[in-house]
């Protein structure tokens, strides 16, 4: 039996009676489409009937409720998330925007706005440091910088240099930082003072 209740979306009630059990579902009005309610209740009834016929069998079923084909199709469509994307890096996107719209806002931090052109100056200065330290493709570079424009510029500079960035939380204890640096085989640590 299905009735309405204002307290919860669906309330399942079970009462023992002399001839068996009475199970009611109270459904909150206007929350679910009637078709959804009917299909959910039908699935619930099938589980109860299955428990009555063979309780051990239904408890081990992976999918005890057989979904209608149209519902399965919707579920499969929603879960079909595989897409082909062009291969490009974070740095590629930055360079594309720098060339296309250099004065467009790239970053807003604590009320300050940084255009792609302005941020590229930060990136270039860090890339120069990396170059002077002979950083090459695949080298691991730790970024131990508070969240600010330098942190963003550091990540971009590392990626554009072909290296790999290893984020380090500035609030980590020094022993934890050292373990991360060792395990990641970090070549250089980028940090800055405010």
116 C-beta neighbours (distance < 10 Å), count:
21
**Per-residue model confidence as pLDDT tens digits over 40-63:** 888 888 888 888 888 888 778 888
Distances (CA, A) of 8 to 29, 38, 67: 10, 17, 24
**CATH 3.40.50.980, the chain: domain bounds:** 90-191
Confidence (pLDDT) at 6: 57
**Per-residue model confidence as pLDDT tens digits over 63-97:** 888 888 888 899 899 999 988 888 888 899 999 99
Confidence (pLDDT) at 80: 92
- The DSSP-derived string for 139-165 is -EEEEE--SSHHHHHHHHHHHHTT-EE
pLDDT above 70 for 194 = no
What percentage of the chain exceeds 90 in pLDDT? 57
Task: Give the CATH architecture of domain 90-191.
Answer: 3-Layer(aba) Sandwich (3.40)
Confidence (pLDDT) at 5: 56
Q: How many angstroms separate the CA atoms of 97 and 100, rounded? A: 5
**Taking a C-beta distance cutoff of 8 angstroms, is the pair 135, 186 a contact?**
no
Q: How many angstroms separate the CA atoms of 65 and 127, rounded? A: 58
Q: What is the bridge-based pairing of β-strands 2-4 and 20-27?
A: parallel
Q: How many angstroms separate the CA atoms of 109 and 149, rounded? A: 7
Q: How many angstroms separate the CA atoms of 22 and 139, rounded? A: 68
């Amino acid at each position: 039996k299905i009735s309405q209740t204002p307290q919860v979306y669906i309330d399942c009630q079970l009462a023992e009676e002399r001839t068996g059990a009475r199970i009611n579902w109270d459904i909150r009005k206007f929350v679910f489409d009637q078709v959804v309610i009917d299909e959910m209740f039908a699935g619930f009834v099938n589980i109860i009937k299955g428990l009555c016929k063979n309780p051990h069998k239904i408890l081990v079923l992976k999918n005890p409720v057989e979904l209608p084909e149209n519902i399965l199709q919707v579920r499969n469509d929603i879960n079909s998330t595989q897409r082909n994307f062009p291969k490009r890096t974070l740095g590629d996107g930055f360079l594309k925007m720098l060339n296309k719209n250099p004065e467009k806002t790239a970053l807003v931090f604590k009320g300050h706005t940084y255009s792609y052109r302005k941020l590229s100056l930060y990136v270039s200065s860090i890339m120069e440091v990396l170059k002077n330290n002979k950083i090459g493709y695949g080298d691991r570079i730790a970024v131990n910088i508070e969240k600010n424009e330098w942190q963003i510029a550091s990540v971009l500079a590392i990626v554009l240099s072909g290296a790999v960035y290893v984020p380090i939380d500035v609030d980590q204890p020094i022993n934890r930082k050292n373990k991360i640096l060792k395990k990641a085989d970090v070549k250089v640590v980028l940090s800055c003072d405010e």
